[in-house]
Amino acid sequence: MHAWAVPWVEGPGARADFEDPLVVTALQYLRGFDLCRGPDRPGVHWHGRPGAGEWLRSLDEIADGLGRWLEECARHDADPRGWIRSARERARAYVRAEEAERGPS
C-alpha cells in the first residue's frame, strides 16, 4: 500500500488533489498501513512487509478508520462549507486544549 500511495503524497511531484482535504487525508492514511515496529526497538517505525515486525495497525483498526473516513466524507458532501468550518473549529479547540495543558509561557 505504501508504494502505491507514495507518488500521490510525497515530494515535489505529488499528484494528490490538495483541494480536497478528505482525499489527501485518506492517501496519507493509506501510506501508513504498512508501518511496523520491532520488539527490540519499539519507538522505531518503518514501512515493512509480512514477517518484518509487528504491524502498528490491525486489520480491525484499518477497517474502523475506513468507516470513520467514509462518515467524514458523507458529512463533507452534505455540507462542504459547514464541514470546513467544523474542521477548523475542531483544530482550534485542539490547539486551545494543548495550550491550556502547557500553561502560561
pLDDT tens across 45-86, in order?
Answer: 888 777 777 888 888 988 888 888 889 889 999 999 999 999
- Output DSSP code: residue 52: S
Q: Estimate the crossing angle of helix 59-78 against helix 21-31, to 10 degrees.
A: 170
pLDDT at 3: 65
Which pLDDT band holds residue 95 (cuts at 50, 70, 90)? very high
Q: Which residues contact 61 (CB under 8 A, 6 or more apart)?
A: none
- Output DSSP code: residue 55: E
pLDDT at 88 over 70: yes
